[in-house]
């Protein structure tokens, strides 16, 4: 089983990470892949619930998904069960595939090994700047939540403008969620 079969590319792959603790924890994560022909990857983990759950369970579930609203919601809160099609394995509605990873913490990272995976749907789609901009806004927005640096909000606004201009309905909804969660003017 190779990562490339499930859409992973060399570089950083943005996915939704799901871990189990007292509740189902969902968070966007960047999976770092050096060799997509292998079953190995890693993820940098800050001090968050994902890290805590992995420390206890040594498991990371990954959903590959293209829905900006799911990325926006999972960045600031955990998705409740109504967002899931299935809990074992955990599959968020709209996911194109899932992976089960063995995850071992090593310093600021977790080493990942692909244990099981399934493609749910293969999707052809063009590149949309609006979707990409939502992801960028969220990266800076989640950093703002922990660091409270105003320069990060300037970047969030920059990317939200692009998301609004180039995105469709789901990107526009994601923009609303981001503004609401960060307390930005609508």
Ligand X SMILES: Cc1cc2nc3c(=O)[nH]c(=O)nc-3n(C[C@H](O)[C@H](O)[C@H](O)COP(=O)(O)O)c2cc1C
List the one residue from 135, 152, 156, 160 that touches ligand X (CB under 6 A): 135
Residue 163 binds ligand X, judged by CB under 6 A: no
- 61 by DSSP, 3-state: which? strand
Question: From the CB of 48, what's the least distance to ligand X, in Å?
Answer: 3
* CA-based nearest residue to 46, from 108, 139, 101, 137: 108
Residue 33 binds ligand X, judged by CB under 6 A: no
Residue 138 binds ligand X, judged by CB under 6 A: yes
List the one residue from 3, 33, 45, 60 that touches ligand X (CB under 6 A): 45
Beta bridge partners of 61: 18, 100
Cα separation, 39 vs 41, whole angstroms: 7
User: In the structure encoding, which two tokens stand for residue 45, read together?
Assistant: 């983990």
List the one residue from 75, 162, 170, 171 that touches ligand X (CB under 6 A): 75
Angle between helices 169-182 and 68-76 (to 10 degrees): 10
Residue 90 binds ligand X, judged by CB under 6 A: no
Cα separation, 114 vs 130, whole angstroms: 31
Residue 24 binds ligand X, judged by CB under 6 A: no
Where does this chain bind ligand X (CB under 6 A)?
14, 25, 27-30, 43-46, 48-50, 75, 135, 138-139, 142
């Amino acid at each position: 089983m190779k990562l490339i079969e499930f859409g992973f590319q060399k570089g950083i792959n943005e996915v939704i990470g799901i871990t189990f603790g007292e509740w189902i924890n969902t968070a966007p994560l960047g999976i770092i892949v050096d060799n997509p022909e292998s079953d190995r990857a890693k993820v940098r983990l800050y001090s968050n619930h994902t890290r805590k759950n992995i420390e206890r369970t040594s498991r990371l579930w990954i959903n590959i998904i293209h829905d900006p609203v799911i990325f926006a919601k999972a960045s600031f809160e955990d998705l409740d069960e109504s967002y899931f099609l299935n809990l074992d394995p955990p599959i968020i509605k709209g996911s194109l595939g899932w992976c089960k990873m063995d995850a071992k913490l090593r310093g600021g990272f977790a080493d990942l090994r692909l244990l099981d995976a399934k493609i749910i749907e293969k999707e052809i789609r063009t590149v949309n700047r609006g979707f990409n901009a939502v992801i960028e806004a969220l990266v800076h927005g989640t950093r703002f939540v922990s660091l409270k640096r105003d320069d990060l909000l300037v970047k969030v606004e920059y990317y939200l403008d692009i998301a609004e201009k180039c995105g469709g309905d789901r990107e526009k909804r994601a923009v609303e969620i981001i503004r609401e969660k960060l307390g930005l003017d609508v």
